[in-house]
Structure 1
Amino acid sequence: MEMFDEEIKKPKAHEVGMPIDTLSVDELRERIGLLEAEIVRLKAGIEARGATRKAADAAFKF
């Protein structure tokens, strides 16, 4: 009976491909929000690198 007393621990972060069948609708929505925020962050990183490259290209043109 000790097994029922233990709290089931769910991972706090989402891993691509992880099983989701034990997650509630609210937990799924939360993970979608986290992933959408991560997409925005990654796109900003791409844009920042593009701006850095343009600046470097402009600096080395003679």
Structure 2
Amino acid sequence: MAEEPAEIRRGRGQALIDLAREDLELYGVGELEERIEALQAEIARSRAQMQRKQAGRAAADALFSKRD
């Protein structure tokens, strides 16, 4: 039995690069509105993740900072 070839792993951020290169002329107004909503949701998700990371960093800094 032949094994299926493994999927090629895409680089980090490659999906965003591919998305930015997409030809928007092919979309209708409604589709563009849906695309904008999806992108705004992704921005909100990215910001929430960034805030979690900043909070974790602040907690670590507070824990390991020098105390006089």
Flag whether TM exceeds 0.5 (same fold): yes
More helix per residue: 1 or 2?
2
Using CA pairs under 8 Å that are at least 6 residues apart, name the structure with larger relative contact order, 1 or 2.
1
Unmatched segments (≥5 aa) in structure 2: 1-17
Q: Establish whether residue 20 from structure 1 lines up as the match of residue 28 from structure 2.
A: no
List gaps (5 residues or longer) in structure 1: 1-13
Residue in 2 aligned with 1:58?
Answer: 62
- Could you tell me which residue of structure 2 aligns to residue 47 of structure 1? 51
Q: Which runs of 4+ in 1 moved over 6 A?
A: none
Q: How many residues align?
A: 49
In structure 1, C-alpha distance between the alignment counterparts of 2:57 and 2:34, rounded to whole Å: 35
**TM (normalized to structure 2)?**
0.66
The residue that corresponds to 2:40 in the other structure is 36
- RMSD (Å) for aligned C-alpha atoms: 1.4
